[in-house]
Amino acid sequence: MLRGFFRAGQQVLQTAKQRKFKVGRFYSYSSVTSRVYNSSDMIDIDFRSDTVTKPTDAMRQAMASAVVGDDVYEEDPTVQKLERKSAEMIGMEAALYVPSGTMSNLIAALTHCNQRGCEMITGDKTHMFLYEQAGVCQFGGVSINTVKNLPDGTFDLAEMQKHIRSRDLHEPTTALICVENTHNKCGGRVLPLSWLDELVEISKKRNLPLHMDGARIYNAAVYLGVPAKRIVRGFSSVSVCLSKGLGAPVGSILHGPKEFIARARRLRKALGGGMRQCGIIAAAGIVSLDSMIDRLAVDHANGLALAKGIAALNHPLFKVVVDSMQTNILVFEVDPKRVDAKEFCAKLQETTDEQLSALGGKDICVKAVPFEAQLIRLVINHHITAEMVDLALQKIAVVMKEYN
């Protein structure tokens, strides 16, 4: 048996060598998110997303002592408290706690688009269009009509109105307009209030509901210096994520009128989103709304410092637009002819003898996401400190020099 274990160990090491695997870290260029274990002297800086955070001590304490009931029967007092609190903060009549932002957006779209053969309009770079498996198409027979997103996350409102369809019997009927705020793919940009107000007026004239994927709406609120309810004024529904910048372990909240949320609750059940005694996790959401919003300004400051630091390296193959850095998401460009974003992200995670020497012996692992062949995303979260930003910049500078 021992010989069998020995042979298995040898096979693992051989496979590791073939996959650029160094003891303690996984470097496969096909995956930049995995690692076997962390060495004790390794500095791990995770910029992949603000979803990677661990619950705070206050959240864990609240979860441990949460009073719970069966939420499918609407008998969980902690869930009810979270929903009331969030609805008040967003300025809407009611709210519904769901497992994820993807489910929240799906429920919202299917509640608004309640007939097969209708469609929703959204930007071509929105999360709902790119990263949610076209769930509205899969489960609701709803088509998606896209408008080109501008760099700031908005889209041309005159062009959007050309996409509205309602009369021709050959075409689907437009039933919903959706926006994303802050805008992930556009580098965490905040939609201007003046643009949102104009969109609201258009939707009223065209008698179309508006849904906001406000996964990071509190980042937008902190950046603008206004309450979140001001941002969504005039919208029919809004989804807010608790497990991104706010740091809760699980959950999003869908908001809207009481009748809308009643219909949404039925859809949540149909989609398998009834979570029974989920007050245990809702308790962490209450803590996140109470204590994690104002501190988002720290994330924004660290994100700006990161953007300025990379720009200051002044490498011709890497482009950072510092003026577009508004919140906690940094998306920067690489020259795709000389730099492969996926390979660059893999190099940020690995440690070579040359890197150790250049970094004074510091073993720094920086995790980032290759967005496209020419785009890299780094996201600040509440675990990232100013010191970690400085260390990450050291590692980024060393890896960039490999492309000189």
For residues 84 and 95, is the Cβ–Cβ distance under 8 A? yes
pLDDT digits (tens, 9 = 90+) for 258-285: 999 999 999 999 999 999 999 999 999 9
For domain 57-291, give its CATH number from 3.40.50.720, 3.40.190.10, 3.40.50.800, 3.40.640.10. 3.40.640.10
Tell me the C-alpha distance between 245 and 110, whole Å. 27
Percent of the chain exceeding pLDDT 90 equals 86
Give the per-residue pLDDT at 41. 82
Q: Which string of b and e fits 161-188 if b means at least 16 CB within 10 Å? A: eeebeeeeeeebebbbbbbbbbbbbbbb
Kindly report the average pLDDT of the chain as a whole number: 91
pLDDT value for 242: 98
Taking each helix axis as running N to C, give the angle between helix 101-112 and helix 258-270, from 0 to 180 degrees, rounded to the nearest 10: 120
Nearest to 142 by CA among 128, 157, 131, 154: 128
> CATH 3.40.640.10 occupies which residues in the chain?
57-291
Q: 40 pLDDT band (50/70/90 cuts)?
A: low
Contact of 327 with 182, CB cutoff 8 Å: yes
Q: Please name the helix (run of DSSP H) or strand (run of DSSP E) that holds residue 230, with its range, or none.
A: helix 228-231
Is residue 34 scored above 50 in pLDDT?
no
The CATH class of 20-53+295-401 is alpha beta
C-alpha distances out from residue 351 to 148, 191, 213, 370, Å: 40, 39, 38, 19
Average pLDDT over residues 322-340: 96
Amino acid at 101: G
Containing H/E element for 315? none
Average the pLDDT over 135-159 and give the result.
97
Domain with CATH 3.90.1150.10 in the chain: 20-53+295-401
